[in-house]
Amino acid sequence: MRKKITLATFGGGCFWCTEAIFLEVKGVEKVVSGYAGGKAPGKPTYREVCSGLTGHAEVVQVSYDANVISYQDILAIFMTTHDPTQLNRQGADVGTQYRSVIFYHDTEQKHIAETVVKQLASSFDDAIVTEISPLTVFYPAEDHHQDYYRNHTEQAYCSFVITPKIMKLRALHAHQLKQ
């Protein structure tokens, strides 16, 4: 069967975490860490995005085979491996650059995202604050941010923040992971 490569773009805190999660998912071909949703002109740098002044969120752009995994399943994994009830933060990472956001690529993705968020709302004690917005421009992050977890698993942030999220992924979505 021919591959049907589709894009999904979202932010759930630090892009290193979200990238590490989706690199384990069956059907995912590529994950690129980057920035989206800002108002500042030109391609932002990590330092500029971290300042919170550009309006960009740290995001990942996931290229996946829609014949292997659906957009609904991609979103379910995204929504259950970060805390979509925290406004402008994930744990100790605080600021609008760490907001929970789904950037849709077309009206079908928008509709699916709205439906999935509504369906999952009862699974959380607090209200979901995940933003659903159109993707205007995606800027890939600097090279040293790509595949960060695999290249730096010994770092404290990776051990204490990312590894527990991967363990949660494996517990909740084992049937959707690469072998």
The class of domain 5-176 in CATH terms is alpha beta
Residue-wise pLDDT for 103-122, tens only, equals 999 999 999 999 999 999 99
pLDDT at 96 > cutoff 90? yes
Catalytic amino acids? 14
Residue-wise pLDDT for 5-63, tens only, equals 999 999 999 999 999 999 999 999 999 999 999 988 889 999 999 999 999 999 999 99
In 104-158, alpha helices (H): 107-120, 148-151, 156-157
Q: What is the pTM of this model?
A: 0.95
H and E: helices and strands count for the chain: 7, 8
Return the ∠ at Cα 112 (arms to 55 and 127), rounded to 5°: 60
